[in-house]
Chains A and B, each alone.
Chain A
């Protein structure tokens, strides 16, 4: 069943606004990954997080590994039209083998010029 929850499910924002989204679980995770998928394309890895409390930036994107290890957050500053897409979180859950990565259902982002 679904083990990762993402919110919001979708969001519509004005160009230039900041965006915040999160990923939560009832289980503890050792690794959090954030991906962006453009329509009809494969997901692209944006940021990887490996330690609780870790804060990592990639350009206008910033992601954090939650202190409880059960959540992660992604922020996009000063959004632009090309930020449109679906953002997936993914994680490797504690107690599972290294190769089992679970994906969330995604947050769909629309940017209004």
Chain B
């Protein structure tokens, strides 16, 4: 079955710790995205990558970092510099150029106390 996996589903961390969220896809998609969702709000773009070894900041990149060393993988690190890290994080992918249809993973709910 092709799809996007995110792990873990729930993640708990202490304030001041960095944490890395996993995102893997086997759809052979070129583009991958990370979004943040807060209660009652839409999705806000954190980072996106159109191709391996390249990525761009989205609208709320501060306090986050990413890497894209493999086509299938796009991990997101939430650093201690992110002031309000508790949120629902969603990873998505799309075929790439000339395609706007994004397909989402199941999400990771991060709680920082």
Q: Indicate the size class of the contact surface on chain A.
A: 20 to 34
8 A Cβ contacts from B88-105 to A: 88, 90, 92, 94, 97-105
By a beta-carbon cutoff of 8 Å, the part of chain A in contact with chain B is 4, 31, 33, 35, 40-45, 48, 88, 90, 92, 98-101, 103-106
Evaluate whether A106 and B101 lie within 8 angstroms (CB atoms) in the complex, with A40-B107, A42-B106 already known.
Answer: no
Is A42 in contact with B42, judged by CB distance below 8 angstroms?
A: no
B104 near A31 with CB under 8 A, answer: no
Number of interface residues of B (CB under 8 A): 28
Collect the chain B residues with CB atoms within 8 Å of residue A98's CB. Answer: 97-100
The count of A-to-B residue pairs whose CB atoms sit within 8 angstroms is 54
- Spell out B's residues near A (CB within 8 Å): 4, 6, 31, 33, 35, 40-43, 45, 48, 50, 88, 90, 92, 94, 97-107, 109
The binding surface of chain B is classed by DSSP as strand
A99 touches B90 (CB 8 A): no
Residue of B nearest to A108 (CB): B40
Contacts of B98 in A (CB 8 A): 98
Inter-chain contacts of A103 with B (CB < 8 A): 35, 42-43
- For B88, list chain A residues within 8 Å (CB): 40
